[in-house]
Amino acid sequence: MDTQKIRAIINDQKIEVIVKYDPANLTMTSSEADNFKKVHRGKDIYVCLAKVRADFPHITFLCKGAKINVMPSRMASQMSAGLVAYEMRLGKQATQEDIVHLFDYEEDNLTNNPQEQIVFFRKWLTSLGAEDYEKFNYLYLPDSLTNREK
């Protein structure tokens, strides 16, 4: 397992939270999770961090992974296990310059609620005229690739 220190705010005090994560097994635990006993699993490390944040809404994690407008693309998720993501801006396509590392320090536009990141992602898609993006996958890909029944 890899170890990462993340600055965080608990009760208006800055502290360091330690997370341990395994990109091969897509798991994460934290020093706040009953002293590393609770393991969070997800499709990537970004999702694992989202689960940690959801379990500890009183903690504000000061990292890019907690920023409202940060989310990995599918390719970034698969190629980096979710350790890199895009910092999205409304009306602007994400480019290589928008790639950020999940644990990089951040203080602005943070959220303790991972659902707010999903809401922003949908707003971003709409701002690009791509609100039907998710439908595209189901309309044009074979059923075997979409896990959809006929």
Average pLDDT over residues 10-30: 92
Whether the pLDDT of residue 145 is over 60: the answer is no
**Residue 79 CB contacts under 8 Å (≥ 6 apart), including other chains:** none
- Predicted pLDDT of residue 31: 84
Contact 128, 93 (CB under 8 A): yes
Whether this prediction's pTM lies above 0.75 is answered by yes
Q: Compute the mean pLDDT over every residue in the chain, rounded to the nearest whole number.
A: 86
How far is it, in rounded angstroms, from Cα 12 to Cα 7? 12
Average pLDDT over residues 100-121: 95
Higher pLDDT: 115 or 150? It is 115
> Measuring CA to CA, which residue among 118, 125, 76 is closest to residue 101?
76
